[in-house]
A and B are shown apart, each in its own frame.
Chain A
Amino acid sequence: MRASLLMAGLIAMLASAIWAGEGQGGYGPVIPEATGEAHPEGNDYMRRWHMSMMRHDRDVTIYEGKREQNASLGGCFECHAAKDETGTPVTYADERHFCRSCHDYVAVKVDCFDCHRSTPEGVEEPAAHAALGGLLFPALGADVGALVAYLGAREVGQ
């Protein structure tokens, strides 16, 4: 996972160059709107460093038992729970999920949600959420078609 986080970081840096316009109608990903106050660090900082912040705080939590951390996935979803038409927060299996809005754009598949829930506590993750995981372990069910659909490719060269 470390490699994928690092890569996400690098790509996020590169992507920030074309971030102007925030993607709404222009270049770049379409970022779901958040609730709550803006990050005092600024969005650019969060885009560049969110993975390092979470990695640091998770280590402090698991080894030192300090659980009052600011950077946590649970914390992210307090404000960044993208919702479907019915107003229910979507899981990572849905391409509207907050994390996917950027990671899909830069073709990075994070595996955070193999272990962490991708919705706020109390919001059910349906079985379809688990099915997405087949992409990581193809033997467990994903087929090339699903992979291609997920990556948004148009043709499969056989």
Chain B
Amino acid sequence: MAVMMYWEALQRAQDEEMTRDPLVIVMGEDVGVAGGTYKATKGLYDKYGAERVIDTPISENGFTGLAIGASFIGVRPVIEIMSVNFAWLAMDQIFNSAAKVRYMSGGQLTAPVVIRSPGGTAHQLGAQHSARMEKVFMGIAGLRVVTPSTPKQAYGMLKAAIRCNDPVFINEHELMYNMKGEVPDGDYFHPLEGSEVARPGRDVTLFGYNISVHWCLEAAEFLATHHGIDCEVVDLFTLSPLDRAGIKASVSKTHRAVIAEEAEAPVGVGSEVIAIINEECFFELDAAPLRVSAKNVPIPYNHKLEKAAIPSAKDVVHAVLKMFGK
């Protein structure tokens, strides 16, 4: 196990896969000569050249569609979309081409593309650079959606996504690229379906994904130390398909659920998890599940307003205390 940063884990995964398979390519704005906005493609241009590490024009729908077309005949493109806010421009190709082509061709064609993109609120980037889109992607049949919370997951999911025959959207976070963690040394493939118990507990399940897993872990520490509440933290690293069995297992054990997401509540991960709880294990519940989520506003620029708009570990703590009547 080596300790590395999240961006280094992504870089290593792409480097290894590009060495193994000459049909793996990387595409995006500034991924080549400039080495990637978040360094995830650092050094690849020098090693593999301009044919495989492609600096694209600012044409999100165009280059995403191009990657999808290339994937039809065996190329394995990894697309980096600089910010998920720009992925809206590529929605046509993601939604109408990549996700649907297997089905509408009766299984003849598939689009094994990987689309990586950071979403979420960083530091005062304003409304058009701070939104998240996982709620949109997870509603698309034919597309896999994963969201790594650690460097290990980032590495293993990207490698699995490159080799998987389905289109995969990897939701990253601007604030997490420098996060450090252990990454296995050999080829490691993280599952693209399921969830993980990041911290076992008895009293309540805190569901998180990507950055909110870390709020949940922080909240769990605090609640254990100061309130004697033993939280289980479940990392929903797969948003599509959501892990029904994992959600059911944990709620059947703790009988309580809080879902933490950085996005706004309407039509979100929290609503889906609660729907699954209703469908799978409603009678196990001792309390109504709660959502911790962003305010339903475009993310403001002002530092204080920005902080107030998105949740944090503190909000998770408050939700749990409220649930326990404290």
A associates with B: no
A positions within 8 Å CB-CB of B: none
